[in-house]
């Protein structure tokens, strides 16, 4: 099959192969790190490790009703459960459900925070310092999910930044052989389509939690298509020439 400018991945000059390979390896590692970051942020939204539909709902739509309606209560039932005895957690949960009255902060809640929470929350980067009353009140507020302002900011960064990644991965893959024109075109376009679906699903989930599945499908879809293109490109640049020589 005649490729762009008569070139294909197996026969590219060594410096170009080196450039493409370095880029693809870094992008592949970046995708793995992005997956790990999602597990450690959105994946802990329901207080349990591992990404689930509930994690997506809590992250974007929030948890407006019932148990765990605040981030503080969700943490006390989930990832922070082992860090304080039941009586201390119960006292903080009752305080949250009573509307987090400021009159009880100094006498009841702050001593518990100082005893069981402050050692980590005042010293570890990335953890909110819940020893400060204003921060603790925000944690105790009903969780309405990500704000519109934050969602707008993250959406435009996500769309611009990841589109550049997919452009160069797709451009490199466009030199691959052994794929029909339609299959190659489909694979190149697929990550862009799933990226649009992913970001649109954030906004839809903010309004209606039933769209949370679409967030997972979008992220999985563009990750899978990118992985196929990355491995196919690396294989054809380095393994295919060796097999031709042996043949």
Number of domains observed in the structure of the chain: 2
Last residue in a domain, options 97, 124, 140: 140
pLDDT of residue 121: 86
Cβ pair 151, 161 in contact under 8 A: no
Task: Give the pLDDT band (50/70/90) at residue 169.
Answer: very high
| pTM beyond 0.75 | no
Question: Is residue 20 included in any domain, yes or no?
Answer: yes
Residues 154 and 204 in one domain: yes
Question: Is residue 54 included in any domain, yes or no?
Answer: no
Last residue in a domain, options 121, 140, 159: 140
Residue 65 DSSP class = S
Tens digit of each residue's pLDDT (9 = 90 or more) over 85-143? 999 989 998 898 888 898 999 999 999 999 998 888 888 777 888 888 998 888 887 76
Last residue in a domain, options 119, 140, 161: 140
Residues 125 and 187 in one domain: no
Q: For residues 226-242, b (16+ Cβ closer than 10 Å) or e, as one string?
A: beebbebbbebbeebee
- C-alpha torsion 71→77→80→82, nearest 10: 170
- Give the domain extent around 188: 11-44+146-246
Residues 127 and 185 in one domain: no
Question: Is residue 79 included in any domain, yes or no?
Answer: yes
Tens digit of each residue's pLDDT (9 = 90 or more) over 173-192? 999 999 999 999 999 999 99
Neighbours of 27 (CB within 10 A): 17
């Amino acid at each position: 099959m005649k490729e762009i400018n008569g070139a294909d991945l197996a026969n590219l000059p060594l410096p170009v192969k080196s450039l493409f390979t370095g880029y693809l390896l870094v992008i592949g590692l970046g995708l793995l790190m992005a997956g790990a970051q999602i597990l450690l942020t959105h994946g802990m939204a329901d207080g349990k490790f591992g990404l689930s539909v509930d994690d997506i709902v809590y992250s974007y739509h929030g948890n407006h009703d019932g148990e765990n309606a605040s981030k503080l209560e969700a943490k006390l039932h989930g990832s922070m459960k082992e860090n304080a005895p039941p009586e201390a957690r119960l006292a903080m949960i009752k305080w949250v459900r009573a509307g987090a009255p400021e009159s009880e902060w100094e006498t009841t809640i702050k001593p518990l925070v100082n005893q069981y929470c402050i050692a980590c929350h005042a010293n570890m980067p990335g953890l909110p310092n819940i020893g400060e009353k204003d921060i603790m009140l925000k944690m105790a507020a009903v969780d309405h999910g990500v704000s519109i302002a934050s969602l707008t900011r993250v959406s435009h960064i996500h769309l611009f930044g990841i589109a550049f990644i997919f452009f160069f991965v797709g451009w490199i893959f466009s030199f691959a052989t052994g794929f029909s024109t339609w299959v190659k075109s489909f694979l190149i376009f697929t990550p862009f389509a799933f990226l649009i679906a992913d970001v649109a699903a954030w906004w839809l989930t903010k309004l209606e939690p039933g769209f949370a599945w679409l967030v997972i499908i979008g992220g999985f879809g563009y990750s899978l298509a990118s992985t196929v293109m990355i491995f196919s490109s690396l294989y054809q640049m380095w393994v295919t020439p060796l097999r031709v020589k042996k043949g």
